[in-house]
Amino acid sequence: MGSKVVIVAMLLVVFSIGIKASDPELTRDYSAPTGIDGNYFKSTVLKGVPTASAKFATVTGLNQNNFPALVGLGVSSALLQFPPGSINPVHYHPRASELFYVIQGCLEVGLVDTMNKLFTATICEGESFVFPKAMTHFQVNKGNVIAKGIVAFSSSNPGTSRLPNVLFKSGIADEPLMKSFGVAKSFVMASRIAFASLFMVVFAIGVKASDPELTSDYTAPLAGIDGTYFKSTVLKGVPVTSARFATVTGLNQNNFPALVGLGVSSALLQFPPGSINPVHYHPRASEVFYVLQGCLDVGFVDTMNKLFTATICEGESFVFPKAMTHFQINRGLVTAKGIVAFSSSNPGTSRLPNVLFKSGIPDDVLMQSFGAGKLTINLLKFGIVN
């Protein structure tokens, strides 16, 4: 009976701690040069914007890049215009939650969380929908009239990672994509051509990248703990479970409650020869990867769609910034191992092959997002993924 009370207490602690979801606050009223007047705080960026495409939503951002008065204020906006049948393709915002308000018409919207659960809704004029930070989502107009919406972001520079471009237009080599999606080289090459018309434009700026600090030494049950509460054997003697994919064993607040509120967690990764940790991202954490054994080819794609790659070997490290799409692959002949440090006690993982093609996102949304036919989408849906 006593152990049940302790477990309940720990679970309550885990779910009651809030995570800061916006930029750090300024310590002054605003960031601005001297000699300004009221016009500095006014913008006409969203006024009279024409629709630029019949196939895709016209997205016009209002952020610190085109409205400097927003710098440091932790908020920005965007106007989205959807001709009938158009889509805002699958994407995510690495630095902001998004509150979408419908001005006109109706939209079908959806998001996929890190448990690979799809949440969908239809929203019409006057209704709102919130997309949590760094969660993959989309909006599509299946109606016969134009739809419009206005967005509030919880960052002055939210960033956008458009997944068709991140995956197939950033320069990620064929092999990681073939192994991530379980498809042949010919399919990957065809996909690169098919997705050529899609686009992505955003700028990056640093923001707070860790959980908020506790105001106590640690979070633990009220009484009855000793040193063993802070000890874990989760990463000890872990067997390799796949020859094709990396065996990833996480050590976080879900299996080690002592980490709750401490803003840090870890993982052990084991790569048999030829295996991969498929393209994915962590919505709540940056990741420092340290190689224990062997060598790995690694890479990540930023919100400018620039690919950064490196080969890292025993004793070397590589950092993957928070919510950036990345991968690791072992092209060597021996098993490679690495240990990871995360800047959150619960970093989360969105594996893009599963998020996109195994979560239940409707075929028409995927077809329009990737500029591909139903056969192509079905091939991806039935590919062998991790």
Cα–Cα–Cα angle for 68, 81, 63, nearest 5°?
10
Taking residues 35-39, what's their average pLDDT?
A: 84
Q: Is 108 annotated to bind ligand?
A: no
pLDDT at 186: 77
Residue 75: which domain range?
A: 2-34+44-160
Question: Once rounded to an integer, what is the mean pLDDT over residues 51-71?
Answer: 92
Segment (H or E) for 340? strand 336-342
Is 255 marked as a binding-site residue? no
pLDDT tens-place string over residues 271-281: 999 999 999 99
**Hey, how many other C-beta atoms are within 10 angstroms of the C-beta on 33?**
7
pLDDT confidence of residue 6: 39
Q: Is residue 373 part of a domain?
A: no
pLDDT at 213: 60
pLDDT of residue 222: 63
pLDDT digits (tens, 9 = 90+) for 138-163: 999 999 999 999 888 888 899 999 99
**Residue 91 domain-assigned (yes or no):** yes
Q: Which helix (H) or strand (E) holds 125?
A: none
Alpha helices in the chain (DSSP H): 2-16, 163-168, 174-181, 185-194, 352-357, 363-370, 374-381
pLDDT-derived band at 212, boundaries 50, 70, 90? low
Q: How far apart are CA 171 and CA 371, in angstroms?
A: 18
The total domain count for the chain is: 1
3 — pLDDT class (breaks 50, 70, 90): very low
Residue 223 belongs to a domain:
no
CATH code, domain carrying 123: 2.60.120.10
Beta strand pairing status for 76-82 and 147-153? antiparallel
Asked, for residue 17, whether it belongs to a domain, the answer is yes
Under a CB-based contact definition with an 8 Å cutoff, are residues 188 and 178 in contact?
Answer: yes
Residue 363 lies in a domain: no
What does the pLDDT read at residue 56? 96
Residue with tokens 């630095």: 95
Residue 340: count of CB within 10 angstroms of its CB: 22
CB proximity list for 74: less than 8 A, separation 6 or greater? 22, 23, 24, 25, 154, 155, 156
Q: Which two tokens stand for residue 44?
A: 């006409």
> Is 147 inside any structural domain?
yes
pLDDT tens-digit map of 216-246:
767 877 677 788 888 888 988 999 999 999 9
Domain assignment of residue 50, yes or no: yes
Does 277 count as an annotated binding residue?
yes
Helix 363-370 to helix 374-381 angle (10° resolution) is: 110
- 149-184: string of b/e by CB count within 10 Å (b at 16+)? bbbbbbbbbbbbbbbbbbbbbbebeeebbbbbbbbe
Flag whether pLDDT at 2 surpasses 60. Answer: no
Residue 78 domain flag: yes
Residue 287 known to bind ligand? yes
Q: Which residue type does 115 have?
A: M
